[in-house]
Structure 1
Amino acid sequence: MSTPTLVTAQGARNITDLPKALLLDFGGVIVASEKPNGWQRVVAEAIVDLAGAAAVPPIDRICADVTAGAVAAGQWRNAMSRPLRPAELAQTTFVMDFIAADWTESQRSAISPHVAAISYRVSTAKERRTLRPGIRELLGFCRENGIPVAIVSNALSGQVHRDFLAEEGLSDAFSAEIYSDEAGVRKPNPDFMLMGCEAVNMPPEDCWYVGDHLDRDVLCGTRAGIGRNVLMPSPHAATHPEVFGIEADLITDTPASLLDLMKEISDDLR
């Protein structure tokens, strides 16, 4: 296998064509995330507010179950990096089976109408998100050069991502936002990546996909026949399973570095 190219501010000399469309992961590429301390209690308090204190277990028990559920869901997601076409973990399954599996039937019934709201609260509380360096400029370059951009991202609650981008004034930068909880499938399922290609009306070989992990992102792009798979490791990223026989075509540290490469290619093409 060829050695992936580390993209620096000076760019990579062996890449000569711009993508006709760019597909991006959300976490790790558009945003960097840190896990704040005490996020489980924030979620537990939200559950109490939604269902009423008398209808659910004591808050310390809810905190423990939210913690256990998040750990179990993470292990499940790691395991789903292996199958060819994994489905996404439904919000109902996450809340009712990963968090509230051992609650009484009345307690489970009390939170059942609030599955989407609880999932949303988990996603907002568990990660503190900030835009990665250069992402605004990268999106601006793509807009100026007629390169459509779509998001293809695993998510417990894609609505959280949509709301974040709206708050940052970036919603219009994307031709489409495709999230696994809404699509029902998750990376590395190649069908999910092909949804992104269809959204930008380009064949996979004309697209670049940028993600922060080999096991979800590069593997999915490789399975889908993406033209170039770009690995952008993110600070504070969780450890994921090893993937054997799969390598990225390019490795870059930030959107700013990828933009430098694309600008260099653009200059050479003039």
Structure 2
Amino acid sequence: MVRTVVFDVGETLIDESRIWLRWAERLGVPPLTFLGVLGGCAALDLPHLEAFALVRPGLDVDEEAERWARDDPDGLRNGFDADDLYPDVRPALAALREAGLDVVVAGNQPPVARAALEAMDLPVSAIRTSDEWGVQKPDPGFFARVAELSGVAPQEIAYVGDRLDNDVLPAAEAGMRPVLLRRGPWGYLHARRPEAARTTVIDSLAELPAVLMG
């Protein structure tokens, strides 16, 4: 029986469209071009950073992000806020809490993401990022930290994410229930793969209470 539901962040809770559009503007690349290249990376199982290398060869993304911060210290830049939450997030999290399940957020994110998420006052008991843990998905150590944070056995945890490779299959290997959300470039592509049969595939977070409690 599932007692804790743990959520990935990007393209699970947060719509990253505005982030990628701001990056396209920053790099001087037409939005369709940049988003298309990003989708190609998803289809070819390339890291998302490869999209930057393809449109701006030789670019150091970390250095560019630092320059961007100096140029626009008060802007969101490659961050997010409550306006980027998918519409089904708050109702779904609240419904899970009302059903008696613990709700946690844990994903591959920089430290500033935790503050951004905490500012949204989501109905969750904990928010953690890979940077503060010092380990990233799909490393098994990340999911060990998830289990430790949740305080329940791995088989009592459902991990919800939009990627097979980074999120739900490693969670399954850790003994958790894998839930693949068909959302974002990776979600739509990965839901068509044979490996998706090893997971529970949903199209909206609103489906979770019935799926997990049914």
What are the equivalent positions in structure 2 for 1:100-119 lying under 5 Å apart? 100=63
- Specify whether residues 246 and 191 from structure 1 end up closer, same or farther in structure 2 by C-alpha distance, changes over 3 A only: farther
The aligned amino acid for 2:84 is: R
Decide which structure has the larger Cα Rg and report it: 1
Measured in 2, the distance between the counterparts of 1:162 and 1:230 equals 26
Q: Which residue of 1 aligns with 2:154?
A: 204
Measured in 2, the distance between the counterparts of 1:238 and 1:22 equals 18
CA drift at 1:200: 1.4
Measured in 2, the distance between the counterparts of 1:137 and 1:100 equals 38
Measured in 2, the distance between the counterparts of 1:201 and 1:216 equals 22
- Specify whether residues 234 and 41 from structure 1 end up closer, same or farther in structure 2 by C-alpha distance, changes over 3 A only: closer
2:151 equivalent to 1:151: no
Relative to the length of structure 1, the TM-score reads: 0.55
Measured in 2, the distance between the counterparts of 1:254 and 1:184 equals 30
What are the equivalent positions in structure 2 for 1:1-270 lying under 5 Å apart? 17=1, 19-35=2-18, 39-40=22-23, 63=27, 97-100=60-63, 121-124=77-80, 129-133=84-88, 135-155=89-109, 157-166=110-119, 168-170=120-122, 173-226=123-176, 228-237=177-186, 247-262=197-212, 265=214
- Specify whether residues 259 and 243 from structure 1 end up closer, same or farther in structure 2 by C-alpha distance, changes over 3 A only: same
Measured in 1, the distance between the counterparts of 2:184 and 2:21 equals 20
CA drift at 1:187: 1.0
Point out where structure 1 has 5 or more consecutive residues left out of the alignment. 1-16, 44-62, 82-95, 102-109, 266-270
Measured in 1, the distance between the counterparts of 2:98 and 2:187 equals 34
Query: Runs ≥4 in structure 1, deviation > 3 angstroms?
Result: 35-38, 40-43, 78-81, 96-101, 235-248
The one-character-per-residue Cα deviations of 1:125-156 (angstroms, maximum 9, x if unpaired) are 9xx723242x323322332333211112112x
CA drift at 1:194: 1.6
Q: How many residues align?
A: 193
- Asked whether the equivalents of residues 209 and 230 of structure 1 are also in contact (C-alpha less than 8 Å), the reply is yes
The two structures, once aligned, show a CA RMSD in angstroms of 4.2
- Specify whether residues 80 and 182 from structure 1 end up closer, same or farther in structure 2 by C-alpha distance, changes over 3 A only: farther
The one-character-per-residue Cα deviations of 1:180-212 (angstroms, maximum 9, x if unpaired) are 222222111111012111111011111111111
Identity %: 24
Relative to the length of structure 2, the TM-score reads: 0.68
The aligned amino acid for 2:85 is: T
- Specify whether residues 259 and 217 from structure 1 end up closer, same or farther in structure 2 by C-alpha distance, changes over 3 A only: same
Instruction: Give the 3-state SS of the residue equivalent to 2:151 in structure 1.
Output: coil
Instruction: Give the 3-state SS of the residue equivalent to 2:16 in structure 1.
Output: strand
CA drift at 1:161: 4.9
